[in-house]
Amino acid sequence: MRSLYRHALPQLAGDLFLTDAGLETDLIFNKGIEIPEFAAHTLLPDLAGRQALIDYMRDFLALARDHEAGFILDAPTWKAHMHWAQDLGASEEQLRRANHKAVAFIARMRAQFAGNAKPIVLNGLIGPRGDAYAPDAAFAANEAEDYHTRQICWLAETEVDMVSALTFTRSDEAIGVVRAAKKSGLPVVVSFTVETDGALPTAQTLGDAIEAVDSATAGGPAYYMVNCAHPVHFFKKLDGAVWARRIRGLRCNASRMSHAELDCCDTLDDGDPRELAAQYRGIRARLPWLNVFGGCCGSDLRHVTQIAEAIAA
């Protein structure tokens, strides 16, 4: 299968690109769709679950079309790796097929919006080994490389254009993912999650994490992002920082709550879409090289619509 953009990611040219929002929280809390173990790929074999994914993605692809923006279209593969096999009751071969089917699914979605003015990039999501909200055991970069190579190789067998390490909380694990992706010939993006103090859960600063990954991989990531944190948690850390020029995108939480608080919530905190969009616009005014924008936990189409309009304005 042939990839369209694996050898030249169009978002690197600087045009506006959108992503989706908090897929899992939107479907669970707003649409009443159950997602086993928060693993969205499990919806694909189910007729109602698959239709929910189709409807969700269509709305965002239409938003990109209407704003003449590019789009990073994520395969729902964030938890389709071996750490979750036992919880999901899945074998290695079943997870391999799930990755393939997830990319085939988004490829068909892209084909339906082939008339969009700007490119649609197929992105394979790589989740961390363990709980992104409450990371436990640390493991070395070489161990992370060995672990994540399996899923990245599965994705490399498809027509995916790139992979993204999403909600990563440790620079060593990110180093392993980047090395594995480079071996497989896939462009890779690293998106770190930070706590309310703007640092990773290990207390490593965002800047130190980016510099550590770049140093260990010869600048391997195509770019970096920040996701699963509210803008007020980190935006002040970006001003005037040289390493901040390596950040190209934001996928923020709608809520100002900490990860520990969100983990205990039985209801959805969807924040204020207009306020969130204004904060994005303010960050971009100071960091004009940012060009990839979407949402994370608690956000939905409303938030990304407001963000697109604020950035376009």
Q: What is the pLDDT of residues 92-115, one digit of tens each?
A: 999 999 999 999 999 999 999 999
Residue 60 counted as domain residue: yes
Contact 236, 202 (CB under 8 A): no
Q: What is the pLDDT of residues 208-243, one digit of tens each?
A: 999 999 999 999 999 999 999 999 988 888 888 899
Take residue 256 and report the two structure tokens written for it. Answer: 């100002």
Question: In terms of pTM, does the model score above 0.75?
Answer: yes
How many whole angstroms separate alpha carbon 309 and alpha carbon 273?
11
Asked if the model's pLDDT at residue 145 lies above 70, the reply is yes
Q: DSSP 3-state assignment of 7?
A: coil
Write the CATH number for 14. 3.20.20.330
Among 297, 284, 295, smallest CA distance to 248 is for 284
The pLDDT score that the predictor gives to residue 71 is 98
How many whole angstroms separate alpha carbon 157 and alpha carbon 153?
6
Task: Give buried/exposed letters for 24-46 (b at 16+ CB in 10 A, else e).
Answer: bbbbebbeebebbebbbbbbbee
How many whole angstroms separate alpha carbon 192 and alpha carbon 211?
13
Residue 2 counted as domain residue: no
Q: How many domains does the chain have?
A: 1
Residue 49 counted as domain residue: yes
How many whole angstroms separate alpha carbon 165 and alpha carbon 62?
25
Instruction: Find the domain containing 16 and state its range.
Output: 10-312
